[in-house]
Amino acid sequence: MHSAVFLIEFGAIILALGLLGRFAGRFRFSPIPLYLLAGLAFGEGGLLPLGASEEFVAIGAEIGVILLLLMLGLEYTASDLVSNLKTQYPAGLVDMTLNAVPGAIAALLMGWGPVAAIVLAGVTWISSSGVIAKVLGDLGRLGNRETPVILSILVLEDLAMAVYLPIITALLAGVGWAAGSLTLGIALGAAGLVLFLAVRYGRLISRFVSSDDPEKLLLVVLGLTILVAGIAQQLQVSAAVGAFLVGIALSGEAAEGAHSLLAPLRDLFAAVFFVFFGLHTDPASIPPVLLPALVLAVVTACTKMATGYWAARRAKISVKGRWRAGGALVARGEFSIVIAGLAVTAGIEPSLGPLATAYVLILVVVGPLTARFAQPVAARVSDLRSRRRDAAAVALPAPREPEQPSQESLDEQNTSGRS
């Protein structure tokens, strides 16, 4: 009976996702907000709460994030990553300053203390790599000129998590400097080792993985990715970073073959990830913290757009590409929830969890919208301003030209001059 209930529940979820995806595709709209609403409907306090299949959905959600970042990594080589990081690290500093500071200030204004301020700073700082990767794929922008800029900022954020998460874990646990430094050293060493292997031995890895048999290629790539992601997670490094670096390490025929084979799996498990996000959100906990979450979402949406615009302008991207880059970075998601979950488990501040949930819910819905409409809206506003300036110029009276003296007055002046 338990297995039958599991099959019914999970089958209903997949069927609902397929119908929602078809509906979104018909109107050329990203299905992510619809997947999130489906999660709210199936979650705690929703219309049809799940029971038997929730654990399986949680595992599928983790696989979904891993596949999203793997597929994004397959789009670029290790040399692309290194060159982008060298040129875009100032954008990472701007990103941290503009987006972490509002969260810290908000926590201090609400009287939550310095540890909660550091936690909320991380919640507002880190964009959702999973959501953004899915949106870029849905909108067909993976080959755009601004995409490497977006990717560089996301990678810098993900790599920064290798430093941030051990620090915040030590602060929440109240451990001493020795234990905290050891955790941080392990995380930095693991991240550096994975990046070194990806850059230095990428060709050998691709040669090992490559196969003419699609079945063997799929099994090796998928197994290697999940293995590296699990090891990275065990060592306090983001599993998403590990998966992304595996994608970076693969190149040539191996990358092309893996991309075509894994695309359907990515779409399936990515949809499951967004449903899982909604499953653990009780709608009743949102209204009390909705106003501060909304204010914080508006502020940090603007700062993220400013970050993307500045980084794209620095990379000499066109104005349209700058707005697309800014709009794409707005969404928050998996990292924000992980960070808030650590604080809730430690019992730092009871209101922090619901506030972070409401904040992410707002931006995970708004993020795909800003990615799609930021550039057209900015172009429309610019066009309206130009029209107003032109209309104002036409309405002003034309400057009067000095009157030219007539021929008779010139003759009189000449006559008087001779006399």
Q: Residue 130 and residue 409: Cα distance in Å, rounded? A: 82
pLDDT of residue 29: 65
Q: Return the exposure string of 147-182: e unless at least 16 CB atoms fall within 10 Å of the residue's CB, then b.
A: bbbbbbbbbbbbbbbbebbbbbbbbbeeeeeeebee
Q: At what angle do helices 239-249 and 177-200 cross, to 10 degrees?
A: 20
pLDDT of residue 1: 47
DSSP track, 230-288: HHHHHTTS-HHHHHHHHHHH--HHHHHHHHHHHHHHHHHHHHHHHHHHHHT--GGGSGG
pLDDT of residue 80: 65
pLDDT of residue 95: 94
Q: What are phi and psi of 261, to 5 degrees?
A: -75, -35
pLDDT digit string (tens) for the chain, length 419 residues: 467 777 777 788 888 888 888 887 777 666 777 787 787 777 666 666 666 566 777 787 788 878 877 887 787 666 666 666 677 788 889 999 999 999 999 999 998 888 889 999 999 999 987 778 878 888 888 888 888 889 888 878 877 776 787 777 777 766 556 666 676 676 667 666 766 776 777 677 777 787 878 888 888 888 888 888 888 777 666 677 678 778 877 776 777 788 888 888 888 887 887 777 677 667 777 788 889 999 999 999 999 999 999 999 988 899 999 999 999 999 987 778 778 877 777 778 878 878 888 898 889 888 888 998 888 898 888 888 878 877 777 766 655 555 555 555 545 555 555 44
- The token pair at 45 is 């306090």
